[in-house]
Amino acid sequence: MRIALGIEYDGSAFSGWQTQEGVPTVQEAVEQALSKVADHPVAVTCAGRTDAGVHAACQVVHFDTGAQRPDHAWVFGANANLPPEVSVLWARPVPADFHARFSAFRRRYRYVIFQRPVRPTYLAWRCAWEYRPLDEAAMTRAAQYLLGEHDFSAYRAQACQAKSPVRTVYRLDVVRHGDFVVIDVEANAFLHHMVRNIAGVLMDIGAGKRPPEWAWEVLATRERRLGGVTAPPHGLYLQRIFYPPRFDLPVLPEKPTLW
């Protein structure tokens, strides 16, 4: 039997999603918790690996098991064995051809910037801090250059292992909420550090360091070394994974907060 889960986590205490020897990871915590519920070792596959410090409003994973459990037992049984920074939101049986990563056709990320002269305290690991005043209108103009299908080589990490740098961005919005500037990005898939590199370019443009056209100029170079600074990880949230309706996975309502 194949089971899909929706998972929420605060990435501040973890060295990313993927299991690594000697450091805490979200994957390791989830697999250990599910193994106790299933009473056998469980290995999960996620929709998208997140870096150290990155958060998720709804990561999606799947795993295979012979254990028969009701949906609520996977949810509450796992949560009873997970650290407080990780929570299973829902569980559903899915067809054998469902794959958390390869069945997805869109992903949405949110980047949250806290803009004020003085550094934050309790928000420090929940958003990126920008002391410079940001012009969200200039950031919005710059964002339009990145919509559509492009070679995003200049916006991916140099160590990115994706076979193709071509991605299609369907949505790239910049909205201000008081002292917060929020960037929402939706695409068919993302390259390593792609959202954080886009955020870094838009932040420099918003601060008046570069004109809006620079977003396109960076894209056209196809050279990462000519791009902007990679924005900090703790402002980044994996918001939603989109799947074909036939899998009938829960769609959680948009959160009323910035996150």
pLDDT at 100: 97
Residues 19 and 116 in one domain: no
* Residue that is last in its domain, among 103, 131, 146: 103
pLDDT of residue 46: 97
- Whole-number pLDDT of residue 258: 54
Clarify whether residues 112 and 53 are in a common domain: no
Q: Which domain holds residue 19?
A: 2-103
Are 143 and 219 in contact, with CB atoms under 8 Å apart? no
Looking at the fold, whether 96 and 39 belong to one and the same domain comes out as yes
The predicted-structure confidence for 103-124, as pLDDT tens digits, reads as follows 999 999 999 999 999 999 999 9
Instruction: Based on the residue annotation, tell me whether 51 is a catalytic residue of this protein.
Output: yes
Asked if the structure places residue 257 within a domain, the reply is no
pLDDT of res. 17: 95
Asked whether residue 33 falls in the same domain as residue 151, the answer is no
For residue 22, tell me if it sits in a domain. yes
Regions in the chain scoring below 70 on pLDDT: 253-259
At position 122, the amino acid (one-letter code) is Y
Last residue of a domain, one of 103, 126, 153: 103
What span, in angstroms and rounded, lies between the C-alpha atoms of 69 and 38?
Answer: 8
The reply to whether 258 falls in a domain is no
Please indicate, yes or no, whether residues 158 and 192 belong to a single structural domain of this protein. yes
Give the number of domains in the chain.
2
Of 87, 103, 119, the last residue of a domain is 103
Whether 90 and 113 share a structural domain: no
Do 209 and 91 share a domain, yes or no?
no
- Tell me the whole-structure pTM to 2 decimals: 0.94
CA–centroid distance for 175 within its chain: 18
Which amino acid type is present at position 220? A
pLDDT of amino acid 219: 95
Inside any domain, residue 256: no
- Residue 86 maps to which CATH number? 3.30.70.580
Around Cβ 71, how many Cβ atoms within 10 Å? Answer: 13
Catalytic option among 51, 135, 151, 184 = 51
* CATH at residue 163: 3.30.70.660
